[in-house]
Chains A and B, each alone.
Chain A
Amino acid sequence: MATLSFGGFLTFAGFLSRFWPSTITGLVLGAVYALVALGYTLVYGVLRLINFANSEVFMLSAFGSFLAIEVLNVPQRLTGGGDPVKTGWELIGILALCLVVSVVIGGLSAVVVERVAYRPLRQRNAPRLVFLISAIGASFAISEAVGEWGPQQRDEYALTKFFKKQQLFKVFGADVYNANVIVVVGAAVMALALVLFVSKSRVGRGIRAVAQDAETAKLMGVNVDRIILITFLVGGLMAGGAAFLYEIHTPFARYDVGFSIGIKAFTAAVLGGIGNVRGALLGGVLLGLIESWGSSLFGSDQNIGNVAAFVTLVLVLMVRPSGLLGESLGRSKA
């Protein structure tokens, strides 16, 4: 297979020199994947079905956060038409506001998807495959609707820069930018909140009960329909947060941005053990790292990074057929 050459080539020395930068990129990507993966893992844990439309929830939130920044004209309004580039507390305020908008849009759209594409089927006791197709239909409809009637139709929608990318500190000679820190810290806070919510709160206990055994949970007085709705809502909130953080890292959105992220996130959820909250977080971070290292190893070819991610998934599943941490939303603490 000597003729089989990929866009780049195996440059091990180059890989070592790029190791830390690619680790940082990987962590940033991984943080986003982990948050989106939570949406898949929670719904799978509770309903045993792949929430295919979660990727479009992500996409809608990305557009939502763009619109929030552009329509509200936040940067200019705050300074009365002055310098749109922000720093310090002002920046944090704007970020927080946009994050809230994005999260709310994510949560709302996830709830709408549950109502429109899942609930009617659940009431009819449809086979599981049907849920998947219905979700795929919803996913198509949402993504195409944005592609058709969205702000930029099928073109990329670029976010106006409202903060300057600054180098904050160095890790082993690799630059760490403020954007990287915002993404990773933001994701960590949201993930921590979710883990606490699922393991400590009353509703979280309900979610775990339904995941364990929906019938029995119902008998014990858990409102299963409400729990399912809340599960979708929480998944949507996480996807919304992820979307905004992703936009900080990559300030472009397109009507089909959700598709590849969604597949990656779902892979991450499976890698960690679908239905397992901590598994999704671990899987997300690992997948981001593997993807980044993989593409850096083969001369920064993005495609090879994706191939590496999927190959790792297959290898892991061969050794551990139910993911790294196993599926246990119902059994474990979180």
Chain B
Amino acid sequence: MSQDTTSAPPPTAAAKLVFGSRFAAAARRRRTIETRWKALPRPLRALFVLVLVGFIYLLPSLHLPIIPTSSDFTALLAIIIVPYVLVALGLNVVVGMAGLLDLGYVGFYAVGAYSLAILTSQHATVPWLISIPLSVGISMLAGLLLGAPTLRLRGDYLAIVTLGFGEIIRLLAKSSDWMGAQSGIGNIKSPPNLGPIKFSGTIQERNTAFYYLAVTFVIVVFFFLRRLESSRVGRSWTAIREDEDAAEHMGVPTFKFKLWAFAIGAGIGGLAGTLYASNVRFINPDNFQLKLSILFLAAVVFGGPGNMVGVVFGAVAVSYLPERLRFLNTTRYFWFGVVLMVMMVFRPQGLLPRKLQQRIKPRDSVMPAFIDVSEGDPDREGGPHGTATA
């Protein structure tokens, strides 16, 4: 830990100052992958992404021998892993990007699932394709309703209020006959068939269809968030996450953007909920235990909050691990807890930590600018970096 204190180059020394030496080491390693990826020509990158997407779509038909589980692999992917990825991406908007601790994310998941159930089965027969945007809209509205009074609260207060929200949704569903009470809601509509993709076929066909649907949702959400991340909204979130007061002083309307983060996160959570509800076709309040929120959060932190690729890996790990450990039967959650603890001790920044150059980069570019000034280049003096170093 301490032997590289003197030999480290300035940028990592800066990172060390801010994040501690383990994080600096991670930053160094990560930047080589990052720069290599950025150095590739654009068409090559696009090709690589296409191949990756194609591979993901073909995953159920490939029969890979390396990932054996006791349950059917396609079902595992369609029912557990891919929905988890979707949820983790949504929660990452709130926790990783905007830095707001949400412990009741399952509430939005439940709102989405219950909206779909109520719209397609309990009180109406709205077509599935229309119910999905409606349910997502309702979830976003729930996000706004929860966020508007509570987002002025500081970190940990927000955590407990969101935790309460997650519980309230479940308890209301449990006590209200309108929402099916304890017995829940059945006969939820499945998506309509789309050519060879049959949602009403055999179990195998159905699982494959749901896998395609879920993966499509994930890919759409992923690229939507990628765009968002590098937009004004994403930069505002970063600013809020790093220092809310400073962001406010720099003219970022923090409350507005926090509300956006909440609403978008809620929408994605709701989308995952509708996916879940239309897959299992029967939901009851016990499907939305608070434990689930904690597993979602674990997925984000496990992968590396703020880094979407990391979060995807984290979600796969957190959902796959208990299944992989199924041979341990009922003790698997015990081992899961142990793994979580050990993981946090040995790799606290997550599997793939978020891009640290967001914080380091200005310093990288500041250094030459600063030297230039000292060498007597008058043109540079009024530049934005000049004020940053002053």
A267-B160 in contact (CB<8A) = yes
A133-B334 in contact given A263-B167, A313-B161 (Cβ < 8 Å): no
A313 CB contacts on chain B under 8 angstroms:
160-161, 164
A270-B160 in contact (CB<8A) = yes
A317 CB contacts on chain B under 8 angstroms:
150, 153, 157, 161
Tell which of B160, B165, B181, B336 has the most Cβ of chain A within 10 Å: B160
Provide the bound-state CA to CA distance between A237 and B184, in Å. 41
Tell which of B172, B176, B345 has the most Cβ of chain A within 10 Å: B345
A233-273 CB contact bits vs B (8 Å, 1 = yes)?
A: 00000000000000000000000000100010011001000
Nearest-Cβ distance from residue B172 to partner chain A, whole angstroms: 6
Contact of A321 (CB < 8 Å), options: B20, B154, B175, B181: B154
A125-B20 in contact given A50-B159, A136-B294, A314-B149 (Cβ < 8 Å): yes
A140-B334 in contact given A129-B95, A133-B302, A263-B290 (Cβ < 8 Å): yes
Provide the bound-state CA to CA distance between A51 and B165, in Å. 20
A1-45 CB contact bits vs B (8 Å, 1 = yes)?
A: 001111100000000000000000000000000000000000010
B301-A133 in contact (CB<8A) = yes
Tell which of B20, B167, B343, B349 has the most Cβ of chain A within 10 Å: B167
B168-A134 in contact (CB<8A) = no
Say yes or no for B198: interface residue by CB 8 A criterion: no
A144-B334 in contact (CB<8A) = yes
A318-B337 in contact (CB<8A) = no
B142-184 CB contact bits vs A (8 Å, 1 = yes)?
A: 0000000110111011011101110110011011111001000
A137-B168 in contact given A129-B95, A263-B163, A303-B174 (Cβ < 8 Å): no
A270-B348 in contact (CB<8A) = no
A274 CB contacts on chain B under 8 angstroms:
156-157
Among A167-175, A182-190, A304-312, the stretch that binds chain B is: A304-312
A270-B157 in contact (CB<8A) = yes
Tell which of B164, B167, B172 has the most Cβ of chain A within 10 Å: B164
Provide the bound-state CA to CA distance between A148 and B336, in Å. 14
A140-B333 in contact (CB<8A) = yes
B340 CB contacts on chain A under 8 angstroms:
133-134, 136-137, 140
B160-A6 in contact (CB<8A) = no
Say yes or no for B266: interface residue by CB 8 A criterion: no
A303 CB contacts on chain B under 8 angstroms:
171-172, 174-175
B164 CB contacts on chain A under 8 angstroms:
267, 309-310, 313-314
Say yes or no for A76: interface residue by CB 8 A criterion: no
A148-B171 in contact given A124-B22, A141-B338 (Cβ < 8 Å): no
A310 CB contacts on chain B under 8 angstroms:
164-165, 167-168
A318 CB contacts on chain B under 8 angstroms:
149-150
Provide the bound-state CA to CA distance between A318 and B178, in Å. 29
Contact of B157 (CB < 8 Å), options: A124, A142, A148, A322: A322
Provide the bound-state CA to CA distance between A45 and B348, in Å. 23
B294 CB contacts on chain A under 8 angstroms:
136
Provide the bound-state CA to CA distance between A306 and B167, in Å. 8
Nearest-Cβ distance from residue A10 to partner chain B, whole angstroms: 13
Contact of A134 (CB < 8 Å), options: B156, B161, B163, B344: B344
B49 CB contacts on chain A under 8 angstroms:
none
Provide the bound-state CA to CA distance between A7 and B181, in Å. 8
In the complex formed, the residue of A with least CB distance to B177 is A5
Among A60-68, A114-122, A191-199, the stretch that binds chain B is: A114-122
B154 CB contacts on chain A under 8 angstroms:
321-322
A4-B345 in contact (CB<8A) = no
B334-A141 in contact (CB<8A) = yes
B291 CB contacts on chain A under 8 angstroms:
259
Provide the bound-state CA to CA distance between A148 and B332, in Å. 10
Say yes or no for A96: interface residue by CB 8 A criterion: no
B32 CB contacts on chain A under 8 angstroms:
none
Provide the bound-state CA to CA distance between A124 and B26, in Å. 14
Nearest-Cβ distance from residue B162 to partner chain A, whole angstroms: 10
Say yes or no for B297: interface residue by CB 8 A criterion: yes
Contact of A304 (CB < 8 Å), options: B152, B159, B175: B175
Q: Which of B327-379 contact A (CB under 8 A)?
A: 330-331, 333-334, 336-341, 343-345, 348-349
In the complex formed, the residue of B with least CB distance to A142 is B337
A6-B175 in contact (CB<8A) = yes
Provide the bound-state CA to CA distance between A222 and B123, in Å. 64
B349 CB contacts on chain A under 8 angstroms:
127, 130
B152-A321 in contact (CB<8A) = yes
B167-A124 in contact (CB<8A) = no
Provide the bound-state CA to CA distance between A148 and B331, in Å. 7
B344-A5 in contact (CB<8A) = no
B334-A126 in contact (CB<8A) = no
Q: Which of B170-205 contact A (CB under 8 A)?
A: 171-172, 174-178, 181
B337-A5 in contact (CB<8A) = no
A120-B167 in contact (CB<8A) = no
Say yes or no for A145: interface residue by CB 8 A criterion: yes
A137-B152 in contact (CB<8A) = no
15 further contact pairs, Cβ within 8 A, besides A6-B175, A131-B344, A133-B302 = A4-B176, A7-B175, A127-B349, A136-B297, A137-B298, A141-B337, A148-B331, A259-B291, A267-B164, A270-B160, A304-B175, A306-B171, A313-B161, A314-B149, A317-B150
What are 24 A-B contacts defined by CB distance under 8 Å? A4-B178, A6-B176, A7-B181, A44-B156, A50-B156, A50-B159, A121-B345, A129-B301, A132-B301, A134-B345, A137-B343, A138-B337, A140-B337, A142-B337, A144-B333, A145-B334, A263-B167, A263-B290, A266-B163, A310-B167, A313-B161, A314-B150, A317-B161, A321-B152
* A interface residues (Cβ-Cβ under 8 A, vs B): 3-7, 44, 48, 50, 116-117, 120-121, 124-127, 129-134, 136-142, 144-145, 147-148, 154, 259, 263, 266-267, 270, 274, 301, 303-304, 306-307, 309-311, 313-314, 317-318, 321-323
